[in-house]
Structure 1
Amino acid sequence: MLKKLSYILLVVLCTLISFSFQIYVSTSSFDANSVKRYIEYLSSDTLKGRLAGTIENDLTAIYLKNEFEKINLKPYKDSYFQKFDTVYPYKTKDRPYLTITDSQGFLVKEYKYGVDYKEDLLNFKKNNLSFTKKDKLLWSNEHLQIQKDNNNFLFYTPESDKLNFRSSFINSSPFSMYIMTTKNTITELKSYLKEDYTINCFIPFETKKISLNNVTAYIEGKDASAPPIILSAHFDHIGSDLAGNVYTGALDNASGTAFLLELSKYVQSLGKPERNILFVGFNAEEFGCLGSKAFVDEYKHSIKGSKVINFDMIGSNKPVPLYIMGGSKDTEKTALIKETSEICSKNKVTFNYLFEDASDHEYFRKQGIDAITLSDSDTSRIHTPSDKSEFISSDSIERCFNVVSKSIIKYGFKDNWLLIYYREVFWTSLIGIIIFLGVNKKTT
């Protein structure tokens, strides 16, 4: 009887080693260094900050499409591109200026771009104005608001008196143009206004209509009618300023895009999932999550019941937790948030919560679709020229993968434990077989 049980054990071990070995050799290992190489390219000066509407943004979209093709992902709804229309800030070839002129129109002073003042990207419904104390003005120590010709303009001093931060472009913003100035500059402007001088400002950006593309691909599942899993990241950023400084956006969000590309290789290698798994590169997140809104608006009936995991700022080298970000009306008990937090706890991943409509999960949640964003939420360098690939950490990338890989197997592969523990199963089975053969040899 004991001999019979031992041979049954051997058969089980051989079966396990066979299945685990197949997974071992077919599964593509997730490589954090590969993610970093993707980040280095996506955040290089070559792509000039990937501002939606620019040639460099188009090149980024084509790059993602080509990478998805290399990985053998299929085009979603027969196309790798999903088009939508919006407006974007178009940079003209003119020169910016902020000047003071007297009552005769003679130049009194010209301020230096990038030193005394600089545009904020927020809006360009108008890109020039001239005003005096006779116009409608509202001011405080750190800002000057002008109402003129049915437009509102804002001059303001940013935090720490630095002009290197650049906001997202939000065309629905209430002001027609935003200008950052140093404290000294805004104080001088107010003094000149009191003396009846004219202030003139021009920023060579204007809004133009444009068609943009999301990049969409998928792995076909066994049940194509089931709600898909959606894995996503936005690939756009905020471009470059008028002095040629590139806002490379390594953490925000070349990191999430690079993570998505490497993750797609891993998921593709796992075999056919139970349901479709979509990989989406969203555009115009920096314009108010317009790409994800367009995606949800067009496909909301096809994706109802989906699980959405979005990646935004993955790879901080600061000691920050992994944030599980839900919508503003979510709580710790919201289903997908609770399930993700349990995975974090089980795998000893330090995490925290954010409940904000501040990334591409927003419009999914507004349609009642389960969606979260995983983020390191390190804002120390974002939207400045200092957000570079040299500050990306492999450990943070691995941490996110440790969580999301479990979620993908849970939702896409019916929690197949062998996909999670195939390495452990392979080596345990191999050692068990060796021990069995050794013991059996001694007894014969």
Structure 2
Amino acid sequence: MKKLIICILFVISIVLFAFSFQKYCSIHKFDINAIKKNIAFLSNNNFKGRLGGSFENDEVASYIRDQFKASKLTSYSQNYYQTFKAYYPKRISGDPYLKVVDTHGNLVKTYAYDRDFKEDMLNFKSNHVVFYNGSNIKANSSYIQIRDKGNNFIIYAPKDNNISFRSSFIADSDYSLCIMVTKDCLSQIRNYLNNGCIIDCFIPYSNDTTTLKNVIGYIKGSDSSKPPVIISAHFDHVGTDLNGKVYNGALDNASGTSFILEMSKFINSLGTPNRDIIFVAFNGEEFGLKGSEAFVNKYYKKIKSGEDYNFDMIGSPSSIPLSIMGGKKDTANSAPINSISTLCAKEHVSFNYIFEDASDHSSFRNKNIKAVTFCDDDTSRIHTPADKASYISSSSIDRCFKIASRDIINNSYTFSFLILYNKQVCILSLFAMIVLTFISLQYAVKSINQQK
């Protein structure tokens, strides 16, 4: 009986060793250096900030499609693209100006673009405002608000007096035009108004429509009738200013895009999942989450019971905790937030919760689809020219992968333990084979001695 048990255990050990060794050899090693190279590539000046509606944004979509193909993802839509219409800020002819004239039209003062004033990208329903002391004005020490013929204009001084921040574009904003100015500039404008002067400002953008592309590929699971797992990030950013200064968007969100490109190689090397795993690079996030909204609306019936893992701003200094971001109505007990936070605690990963509709997960949560965004909540450089690849932290990328990959594998693979711990299983099963061989030899020697 003991010999039979040893034989069975030996066979099990061989099977476990063979399976785990094969997995260890075939699994793509998640390459953080490859991610950092991709971040540097996507955020270089050649792509001019990847603004939706630009030629460079379309180039990036093509690059992501080629990377999905290279990772052997299957096209989820026609030629990997999902197209959709969206409003965008279109650059028009002319130079920006903010000037002061007297009642006779004589020039009193001209302010310098990017030193004294700059456009806030929020909206361009109107790109020209003229106002004076008799206009419909509401003002205080930090802003001047002007209402004219159904338009709502605002000129404001940021709290930190830094006019380099570039906001997202929101076509349905209540404001028709937003202008950032320094505190000195705002104070001078107020004085000029009090002295009877006229303020004239023009910004050469207009609201227009364009066609944007999401990029979608997937790994076919053994049972496609099961709800899919979705792995996502947005690749668009906020472009360049009117002097051509590039807002590179390395952390936001070349990092998340590069993360899912590498994740697609890793996941596809694990073997066939038990459900479809969809990889989607969203466009138009900086226009009000338009890409994720279009994706959810089109594929709702397929994904309504699925789960989205979204990545937005991965790679801040490791001193900043990993943020688990859910929707406004979520709590720490919402799925998959609860399982992810449990993993963080188990792995001693510092984390915090954010419950805001501040990234593409909210398009899913608005339809009651489970979703979470992994985020390093560092806003010190985002939407400014300082968001460059040189500030990306390898250790923060590694901790995000450690947590996200485990939760995704647990939800997508039947034998997740053997995948997650293939190295350990390989070593233990090899050790078991050696021990069982030694025990078998002892029995054999004992049997020979007894026969003598």
Structure 2-normalised TM-score? 0.95
Alignment correspondent of 1:350: 350
Q: Deviations over 1:349-388 (max 9, x none)?
A: 2211111111101121111111111111111111111111
Q: Deviations over 1:379-428 (max 9, x none)?
A: 11111111111111111111111111111211111352100100111122
Distance in structure 2 (CA, Å) of the matches to 1:411 and 1:77:
24
For the Cα contact (< 8 Å) 1:318–1:378, is it kept in 2? no
- Please report how far the alpha carbon of residue 430 of structure 1 lies from its aligned counterpart in structure 2 after TM superposition: 2.7
- Please report how far the alpha carbon of residue 145 of structure 1 lies from its aligned counterpart in structure 2 after TM superposition: 0.7
Alignment correspondent of 1:190: 190
Alignment correspondent of 2:11: 11
Distance in structure 2 (CA, Å) of the matches to 1:211 and 1:46:
21
- Please report how far the alpha carbon of residue 2 of structure 1 lies from its aligned counterpart in structure 2 after TM superposition: 4.7
Alignment correspondent of 1:58: 58
Matched, 1:337 2:337: yes
Alignment correspondent of 1:34: 34
- Please report how far the alpha carbon of residue 72 of structure 1 lies from its aligned counterpart in structure 2 after TM superposition: 0.9
Once the two structures are aligned, what percentage of the paired residues are identical? 47
Alignment correspondent of 1:219: 219
Distance in structure 1 (CA, Å) of the matches to 2:392 and 2:305:
34
For the Cα contact (< 8 Å) 2:318–2:396, is it kept in 1? no
Alignment correspondent of 1:242: 242
Distance in structure 2 (CA, Å) of the matches to 1:142 and 1:341:
40
Q: Deviations over 1:191-223 (max 9, x none)?
A: 111111111111111111101111111111111
Distance in structure 1 (CA, Å) of the matches to 2:348 and 2:174:
45
* Higher deviation after alignment, 137-146 or 340-349: 340-349
* Higher deviation after alignment, 103-112 or 258-267: 103-112
* Higher deviation after alignment, 411-420 or 31-40: 411-420
Letter aligned with residue 429 of structure 1: S
For the Cα contact (< 8 Å) 1:36–1:389, is it kept in 2? yes
Matched, 1:259 2:259: yes
Alignment correspondent of 1:324: 324
Distance in structure 2 (CA, Å) of the matches to 1:154 and 1:319:
37
Alignment correspondent of 2:153: 153
Distance in structure 1 (CA, Å) of the matches to 2:164 and 2:318:
21
Letter aligned with residue 219 of structure 1: I
Distance in structure 1 (CA, Å) of the matches to 2:356 and 2:60:
27
Alignment correspondent of 1:228: 228
Give SS of 2:218's match. strand
Distance in structure 2 (CA, Å) of the matches to 1:320 and 1:221:
36
Alignment correspondent of 2:141: 141
Alignment correspondent of 2:125: 125
Alignment correspondent of 1:91: 91
Alignment correspondent of 1:422: 422
Alignment correspondent of 1:285: 285
Give SS of 2:302's match. coil
- Please report how far the alpha carbon of residue 40 of structure 1 lies from its aligned counterpart in structure 2 after TM superposition: 0.6
For the Cα contact (< 8 Å) 2:6–2:440, is it kept in 1? no
Alignment correspondent of 1:112: 112
Q: Deviations over 1:32-89 (max 9, x none)?
A: 1111111111111111111111111111111111100111101113441111111100
Distance in structure 2 (CA, Å) of the matches to 1:287 and 1:214:
13
Structure 1-normalised TM-score? 0.97
Alignment correspondent of 2:390: 390
- Please report how far the alpha carbon of residue 138 of structure 1 lies from its aligned counterpart in structure 2 after TM superposition: 0.9
Spell out the pairing of 1:373-412 with structure 2 (5 A cutoff). 373-412=373-412
Q: Deviations over 1:330-349 (max 9, x none)?
A: 11111221122122222222
For the Cα contact (< 8 Å) 2:17–2:430, is it kept in 1? yes
- Please report how far the alpha carbon of residue 9 of structure 1 lies from its aligned counterpart in structure 2 after TM superposition: 3.2
Which 5+ residue runs of structure 2 have no aligned equivalent? Answer: 446-452
Which 5+ residue runs of structure 1 have no aligned equivalent? Answer: none
Alignment correspondent of 2:448: none
Letter aligned with residue 409 of structure 1: I
Distance in structure 1 (CA, Å) of the matches to 2:384 and 2:11:
60
Alignment correspondent of 1:268: 268
- Please report how far the alpha carbon of residue 441 of structure 1 lies from its aligned counterpart in structure 2 after TM superposition: 6.5
